[in-house]
Amino acid sequence: MMIYKILHGPEWAELRAAGESAGAPVDLADGYVHFSTAEQAAETAAKHFAGADGLMLVAVAADRLGEALKWEPSRGGALFPHLYREMRLSDVAWAQPLPLMDGVHQFPAGLE
């Protein structure tokens, strides 16, 4: 199963340059890296990244994260994946731009 992290362009550049990241400011504040499932990603984008352009969608295979990945209740009681360690560039299965068209982020077809 893939899980997804939405990053601002400079955050993606930092991850690529350093090889790891403790995440965005919200991740640092909460003490873990926030991820979403395919079903949760569009709502996450709308809620936390409304109108933001220049984003990257990063996919990570959940089973490669081991015990550092915890599934915890969040919006509406749904379980969200939270990573309790740095996200590493080596964790990333793929990354691609998340374009904004007419105010809506355009996710790739077939997210699993």
What is the identity of the amino acid at 46?
A
**Cβ neighbours around 65 below 10 Å, total:** 20
Of residues 1, 4, 91, 111, the one with CA closest to residue 56: 4
76 secondary structure, DSSP code: G
Domains in the chain, please, with CATH?
Answer: 2-100 (3.20.170.20)
Residues forming beta bridges with residue 110, ordered by sequence position: none
Instruction: Give the integer Cα–Cα distance in Å for 37 and 92.
Output: 15
Mean per-residue pLDDT, 27-31: 96
Give the model confidence (pLDDT) of 43-81 as tens digits: 999 999 999 999 999 999 999 999 999 999 987 889 999
pTM of the shown model: 0.95
Q: With helix as H, strand as E and coil as C, how does 5-17 read?
A: EEEEHHHHHHHHH
